[in-house]
Structure 1
């Protein structure tokens, strides 16, 4: 990079910091800090939702998969988009009317406070791990471009996100996400994709120079495609960082429509990044680490100035998801654990301060984990395996099966979490089997415990479901 590219990137970081400071002025209450006052319109909501789901793994990981498998690399982000669309079509009416802050709070109403506690812990681990992937992604880009060590790169990138997230919570995240959504859309669809194709001679050249397997939608194998479905489609439906964005929408229609549009946007994003990775096969046929294909393509094909813009677009994708998941994890810990069990009588102002302190703590832990793991897709697989295997079944059955009881919900999450973690330890972090073990155990345990131990909260849980439906 030359001085122009560096200047573009630094100016972008400065804009984000200023936006974070402006957001801090609007974060006066706990609801402002966690949910931006539940007052976002369609475009802002769509931009924020798209920005949070398409992060470092989506950008760097899909380009990597496109390099390795061709157009089939799209399935990774396609399944994320499918999960968001399913959430919009079938679940927004259920969750929007509950007027809660976290997924754990809703589970606590449906089952009991023990279920709220354990689900908050599991969901906080998931959101923490997603934050880790974004810090790794930022480190990868900064390392490849500026030549800094990975450790320093991750400290700088993660530190900027942590700064503006602590300042204004969801309002800062919302303001920066809109900027990031615009920059990443322009950078990927209107700069990187057309210039990558132009550099290799167009789509016709790809057809002639790449093997036929790179144009086979299933070349990565049905096992991998099914794994992405289990991890990301199911995971999106019960993801706290996504739910927290849903709660920011002004109306149920905005919540539903924005989720569907974000799903469609994700599919287009998946195809674009896969094609960029395919172009990388021609430009760098013997790349040792495909995870660097996007950064290396940027350095190879872009003129100065545009290179800075593309790097800003990638950082946009990374930072928006990192800020959203950091806030989600800190909200779960402060709202569902600390406030419920130790700090019950704190004022609204004190809770905002607590939320900022927890965001700082979670951010520090995320940066430490990122320095330790340093692999985007492995970290993301662990995060979604825990979420899909342990939380998905209790949430869905809690909505649609009235017989599900408090003990059943609690023990289902505990048992399936243990099974998933044990399976990952035994079979490896990239194995699909632990997720299926967790889902299977979760279904069996929630059904068995519901029949063996009918709970006195059954009527209350059913009434909660009916009240939500009537409210909508």
Structure 2
């Protein structure tokens, strides 16, 4: 255990909690809207930071690192390619998303497809996001277990407590500004760590020759269809991610939303390229470890200078905490706005909705802890959660934005079929070694198209009501 590492992470956690408590002041957060959208006042630098750090949690530095460690740098680039490609598509829709400015994605779907679709989508979204919160807790547990005598489970419980406190206290105000601090820390640590590790290995030629033979191939030993099964969940989640939609809705105006998306595109390369290089370097230096821990062990076991290693570990905790807070906040908004407010919550008023959001955060934390004990790795957990959301929600969201012929029946069919096939595929044990998205996405899209074409086209009024026509 490195005392320096522990001190840096402890200092980081104290700073994060301090920011959360500062932004919990009643003068800043009076309503559920303030809690979710930070008063729609976030400046562009903070917007860019919160978009990037919201997206690149333990799924990047732990789950994505695991993939790169096992399958190599080229396959790792394919895995992460869903991020920039998804951002490019999101860039086309950024102004529409800001203009629509709904509390949640299910609320956006309701404007186009009706209240029933909103309820189904809220349940599916909360189900997927609880899984993503769980992956952050497990990832944080890995970090703390590496540098302290704690077990992974004990570390996960501590991270869960910090994430819950941050989210309950300040909502998006605290989440966004802790994201800004975390983004500076994470990017600095990753950018500095890469050349240090490559120099320690003896340069790029030694690094490349030291990789396992299959890791030097374009697919890392996977079939093209298997590789596609890892690319699609990340890509699809980003296209319809409620977290990102809510961040764009929190921008000051449409121009700020678009500029923030451009900033996210550039900054994403500064994250996933270093992660790929570091994880694959770890496969050369430490060929027999758990891939989930590849980047973390470079930092914790003396392969980097102590200070840089400590910053990288603190950056990993930053990933986990900020992303966990974001998904927790987003899932709580589904419960408060899509379920509670719709089924009898109007009488409670804005303050009542705020209380429900905060209570929902605590409930989500408890469920996520239980779910995190079920899945063996962060990569398994994130693929399952990404697929539920990407296969079920994203087709319906893209239909709202880009396909006027989609109908309520089509949206319901996509939601039900995408979710059912994903869960069924997981229960069957992923036959053939393929991730569920390979079958769930085509099934959901087919259900959307067929059911829409078999029912009456929506009216012009319905399209205008969605705010994205």
Same fold (TM over 0.5): yes
Match for residue 167 of structure 1?
A: 169
Match for residue 236 of structure 1?
A: 238
> Partners of 2:206 and 2:447 in 1: how far apart?
54
Note the C-alpha offset of 1:339: 1.0
Note the C-alpha offset of 1:105: 0.2
Match for residue 385 of structure 2?
A: 383
Q: 1:443 to 1:2 in 2, by over 3 A?
A: closer
Q: Is the 8 A contact 1:78 1:267 kept in 2?
A: no
Matches within 5 A, 1:107-256: 107-190=109-192, 192-211=193-212, 213-221=214-222, 222-256=224-258
Match for residue 11 of structure 1?
A: 11
Note the C-alpha offset of 1:3: 2.9
Note the C-alpha offset of 1:337: 0.7
Q: Is the 8 A contact 2:229 2:438 kept in 1?
A: no
> Partners of 1:426 and 1:207 in 2: how far apart?
38
Q: Is the 8 A contact 2:111 2:462 kept in 1?
A: yes
Match for residue 446 of structure 2?
A: 444
Structure 1: unaligned runs, 5 residues or longer: none
> Partners of 2:324 and 2:205 in 1: how far apart?
37
> Partners of 1:132 and 1:277 in 2: how far apart?
22
- Selected match of 2:77 from 59, 74, 78: 74
Note the C-alpha offset of 1:382: 0.6
Answer with 34-43 or 67-76: which moved more.
67-76
Note the C-alpha offset of 1:349: 1.5
Match for residue 33 of structure 2?
A: 31
Q: 1:411 to 1:460 in 2, by over 3 A?
A: farther
Partner SS state of residue 337, structure 1: helix
Note the C-alpha offset of 1:317: 1.0
> Partners of 1:9 and 1:250 in 2: how far apart?
33
Partner SS state of residue 301, structure 1: coil
Matches within 5 A, 1:274-289: 274-285=276-287, 287-289=288-290
Q: 1:70 to 1:434 in 2, by over 3 A?
A: closer
Q: Are residues 1:317 and 2:309 paired? A: no
> Partners of 1:433 and 1:365 in 2: how far apart?
24
- Selected match of 1:327 from 308, 326, 329: 329
> Partners of 1:42 and 1:84 in 2: how far apart?
16
> Partners of 1:453 and 1:241 in 2: how far apart?
31
TM-score after normalising by structure 1: 0.92
- Selected match of 2:90 from 62, 75, 87: 87
Deviation string 1:145-183 (CA, Å, 9 cap, x unpaired) is: 213111111001111111111101111101111111111
Match for residue 364 of structure 2?
A: 362
Note the C-alpha offset of 1:431: 5.2
> Partners of 1:311 and 1:447 in 2: how far apart?
46
Note the C-alpha offset of 1:124: 1.0
Q: Is the 8 A contact 2:53 2:319 kept in 1?
A: yes
> Partners of 1:178 and 1:103 in 2: how far apart?
24
Match for residue 291 of structure 2?
A: 290
Note the C-alpha offset of 1:305: 3.4
> Partners of 1:18 and 1:441 in 2: how far apart?
47
Match for residue 20 of structure 2?
A: 20
Match for residue 262 of structure 1?
A: 264
Q: Is the 8 A contact 1:136 1:374 kept in 2?
A: no
Match for residue 463 of structure 1?
A: 464
Note the C-alpha offset of 1:231: 0.6
Note the C-alpha offset of 1:427: 4.5
Note the C-alpha offset of 1:30: 1.5
Q: 1:257 to 1:23 in 2, by over 3 A?
A: same
Deviation string 1:267-300 (CA, Å, 9 cap, x unpaired) is: 3322211111222133213x24222222221122
Q: Is the 8 A contact 1:75 1:270 kept in 2?
A: no
Q: 1:352 to 1:439 in 2, by over 3 A?
A: same
Partner SS state of residue 279, structure 2: helix
RMSD: 2.1
Note the C-alpha offset of 1:70: 2.3
TM-score after normalising by structure 2: 0.93
Q: Is the 8 A contact 2:110 2:117 kept in 1?
A: yes
> Partners of 1:430 and 1:54 in 2: how far apart?
29
Structure 2: unaligned runs, 5 residues or longer: none
> Partners of 1:381 and 1:318 in 2: how far apart?
16
